[in-house]
Amino acid sequence: MAKLKKVNIVSSIIAMLIISISGIGTYAVKGLLADIKTQAAKVKAEVFKELENYYKVVKKEVFKELENYYSAKIKTEFEEMKNSVKEDLKRTTDFINTVNKENLAQEIRNICAKETIKAKEILREQLTSMKLEKLNE
């Protein structure tokens, strides 16, 4: 029985040691997990900060590229519109000049026709007066 008591005492001591070590281990693991969680939060914050800074830089570069692209595009389109307006204006001016030349030519023809009629009337009158003079002689 003494041996049994020794075994029970040793078993109790071992059980107490296991429970104590378990409790200490639990607290140690909890502390370790808390440290890991804290470190993970710090790393997460640092990574987020780096990503935020990278995003700001990339955003700035992208907006600069977009500004350059659209500035060039606007300039190109403005030049194209300006050239188109110049061409339209030239065509319109040419058309107006052609119409004006045709109108001027028509007016000259009309004036010439009127002057021809007047000249013919004057010639007829002179011929008539010459004939009358000859008849009177």
Kindly compute the dihedral angle of the four CA atoms of residues 76, 79, 84, 89, in this order, to the nearest 10 degrees. 170
CA 56 to chain centre: 21
Say what the pTM is.
0.43
pLDDT digits (tens, 9 = 90+) for 27-81: 666 776 777 788 888 888 999 999 999 999 999 999 999 999 999 999 999 999 9
Task: Work out whether the CA dihedral 111, 117, 123, 128 comes out positive or negative.
Answer: negative
The two three-digit tokens of residue 44, written as one number: 């997460």
pLDDT digits (tens, 9 = 90+) for 72-131: 999 999 999 999 999 999 999 999 999 999 998 899 999 999 999 999 999 999 989 888
CA 42 to chain centre: 41
